[in-house]
Amino acid sequence: MFGHPPRYDARCPACGSNERQRLIVLALQERVLLRRGDKGLYFTPEPVLANYLHARVGEFQSLNLKAPDSIQAPDEAFDFILASNVLEHAPDDQKALAELGRVLHRDGVLVVTVPLIGGWDETYENPPVQSEDARFEHFGQRNHVRYYGRDIRARMERAGFDVEERLADGEDSVRYGLIRGDRAYVARRRQAKFALAS
């Protein structure tokens, strides 16, 4: 049990991972997305996933949650980017996604998770909600600015990505202690959208 409210099977007693981290690892493993020597970017690294990445690719750059829309890096700087529960903090998620696309190598991969309500067609945003207390009431945390619905995929596609999703369902939910219906999004740049000036 772990979390508020406590969730059954949330934390692994061996490695300390939570459900979201295990889903990300499954998505990475199934698609063989990491290679030794890849240059990576990981927002606010969590120890469990940081250790996993260090063992497979070596070093990666970390970045604070507050800067997804202004990344100090050249175009196509990273072979992989892990944005685990980042976009819900960005004032403008389309600008943040465009910036992630800019710094992602043309053959690179972006892995995204967000707090998602699977029963909602559309993301809930409410710009007048500004105070930390009001954000907690509306979005579940004091520094969140939206709760995503299923349109997260369309938002990523609109920003120039081809997107696959790894759904936590069936036997995997039982075997790996995943939150049923949770999703990890694996995205690659759509080449025309992010064509760089020559």
Q: Domain holding 155: CATH number?
A: 3.40.50.150
In the predicted structure, residue 8 carries a pLDDT above the cut 50: yes
So what's the pLDDT on residue 69? Answer: 78
For residue 191 the two structure tokens come to 């080449």
So what's the pLDDT on residue 33? Answer: 77
Number of structural domains in the chain? 1
Report the C-alpha gap between 139 and 147 in whole angstroms. Answer: 6
- Is residue 1 situated within a structural domain? no
- Is residue 83 situated within a structural domain? yes
- Is residue 111 situated within a structural domain? yes
- Is residue 124 situated within a structural domain? yes
pLDDT band at 40 (very low <50, low <70, confident <90, very high): very high
So what's the pLDDT on residue 41? Answer: 94
So what's the pLDDT on residue 198? Answer: 38
Contact partners, residue 93, CB within 8 Å, separation at least 6: 87, 146, 155
- Is residue 75 situated within a structural domain? yes
Q: Per-residue pLDDT averaged across 118-139, rounded?
A: 92
Q: Which domain holds residue 149?
A: 19-63+70-189
